[in-house]
Amino acid sequence: MKIPLKYNLGSLWVRRVGTLMTALGIGLTVSIAITMMALVNGLDSTFVETGHPNQLIVIRDGALNEVNSYFNRDLFQTVRLLAGIAKDEQGEPMAAGEIIVVINHPRLTGESSNVIVRGTSAMGLKLRPEARLVQGRWFQRGLREIVVSESLSNRFQSMRLGDTLHMSRSDWKVVGVFNAAGTAYDSEILADYEEIAQDWDRPIYTSILLRATDAPAFAQIRQRIADDRRIHLQAVDQKEYFRGQTVSSAGIKALGFFIAMMMGVGSSFAAMNMMYGSIMSRSKEVGTLRALGFSRWSILSSFMVESILLALLGGVLGCLMALPLHGISTGTANFVTFSEILFNFRITPKMLLLGMLFAATVGVFGGGLPALRAARTNLINALRD
């Protein structure tokens, strides 16, 4: 025989102030756990969603990333003419030689961070169709012009359309603002390759971005570059390259896990306290239930259910408290390129589900011992109380 759920709901309602306080405590725990997950997920998916299939990034052999890489300009011609590289409408091979430099620049809040400036070309833009102009126009050669991502423009000083930014030896004019659909390129400033190489006095390429015609050509180009011992280059799958940068979130992941665990322990004890209090104050009721013929097992499961219900109420509150964070933009250090990476908090249905599961776990831990205690109630003693 099962004790009806109505009984549990009723007893939670009778102690509504205590119920709400405990649920709120669990809710805050859940909301912090979801926040940390949303932070990690936002950062990770920024990297995971960057890149296109069949595109390769060519960097110096042994370099771990574009920022570490550099090679002579003549190598670009060798790579550009490899068979299997896709052609654009004009019949030009789709390969762009690029340079990355880094500037240390103040945010609107005053603290400085490193920002990637990419010297590229019209071909480079073609290979990144996700980068779309939202304001102004693209840069032109010879005019010291830059185009800034929307996220950078909202976060750093003098990066609005029309602003002038001093970089290296020149003043650069912001002539456009772009949006790269939440990819890692949303953390970059774009300019003309020749101008950046000249102004930084670095007549080199740091990387080549290229597109293969299809998957077999992709594998072939990759192999050919690896096999050519004279050029000392390596070609990396563009998607894999960015996926590798998710190591940047390892610290936040560990910190988030630790925080959620400790808060979970704290809330479990709090829920246990509440359940003990609630069960002790109705020992007569429990005795009556036993007298009515409800088994120890149904009493145990009924109180477990009550505790889980209490915790799930907290879980719902936690999800509601965390949801407004979705989409908020923030930034941290990319540990691979050592510069600012911008991303949005991203809450997925899976996270809300995990949050509810986390709450239920707190309910199980908090309710277990008190429910056992209730199930063990001695009928005679309880009714005599």
Partner 1 sequence: MKYSWLLLKNVLRNRRRSLLTITSIAASLFLVTALLTLLWELKNPGQTPESALRLVTRHKVSLFNTLPIAYRGKIARVEGVEAVIGSMWFGGVYKDPSNFFAQFSVDADQFFEVNADMRMPEDQKEAFKKDRTGAIAGKNVAERFGWKIGDKIHLKGALFQFDPELTLRGIYDGGSDDGGSLYFHWDYFNEGINNAGFTGTFAIRARSAEEVPKVAERIDALFENASVPTKTETERAFLLGFLSMMGNIQFLITSICSVVIFTIILVASNTMAMSIRERVREIGVLKALGFRSGQILAMLLGESVVLALAGALLGAFTARWLFASLNLPALTGGFVQKLNVGPGILSLCALIGILVGVLAAGVPAWRASQRPAVEALRRVA
Q: Are 256 and 39 in contact (CB under 8 A)?
A: yes
Under rule CB under 8 A, how many of the chain's residues touch partner 1? 55
Kindly state the smallest distance separating residue 357's Cβ from partner 1, in Å: 19
Ranges of beta strands (E only) in 226-377 are 233-237, 329-334, 339-344
Q: Binding to partner 1 by residue 216, rule CB under 8 A?
A: no
Phi, psi of 93 (to 5 degrees): -65, 135
Q: What is the DSSP string of 107-152?
A: BTTS-EEEEEEEEE-HHHHHT-TT-EEEEE----TTS-EEEEEHHH
Q: Rounded to an integer, what distance in angstroms lies between the CA atom of residue 358 and that of residue 120?
A: 47
- Would you say 28 or 383 has its CB closer to partner 1? 28
Q: Are 186 and 344 in contact (CB under 8 A)?
A: no
**Which string of x and - marks every residue 135-174 that binds partner 1 (by CB under 8 A)?**
--------------------------------xxx-----
Residue selected from 25, 97, 124, 363 as contacting partner 1 according to rule CB under 8 A: 25
Kindly state the smallest distance separating residue 193's Cβ from partner 1, in Å: 17
Is the sign of the CA dihedral 158, 159, 163, 167 positive or negative? positive
In 3D space, the residue among 154, 109, 126 whose CA is nearest the CA of residue 342 turns out to be 154
Q: Binding to partner 1 by residue 320, rule CB under 8 A?
A: no
Residue selected from 41, 267, 344, 377 as contacting partner 1 according to rule CB under 8 A: 267
- Would you say 54 or 337 has its CB closer to partner 1? 337
Q: Binding to partner 1 by residue 257, rule CB under 8 A?
A: no
Token digits of residue 1: 């025989």
In 3D space, the residue among 340, 345, 342, 304 whose CA is nearest the CA of residue 324 turns out to be 345
Q: Binding to partner 1 by residue 46, rule CB under 8 A?
A: no
Residue selected from 102, 204, 372, 383 as contacting partner 1 according to rule CB under 8 A: 102
Residues in the site for partner 1, rule: CB under 8 A? 17-18, 21-22, 24-25, 28-29, 31-32, 60, 62-64, 67-68, 101-104, 109, 111-114, 167-169, 200-201, 232, 251, 254, 258-259, 262-263, 265-267, 269-270, 272-274, 276-277, 281, 330-333, 338-340
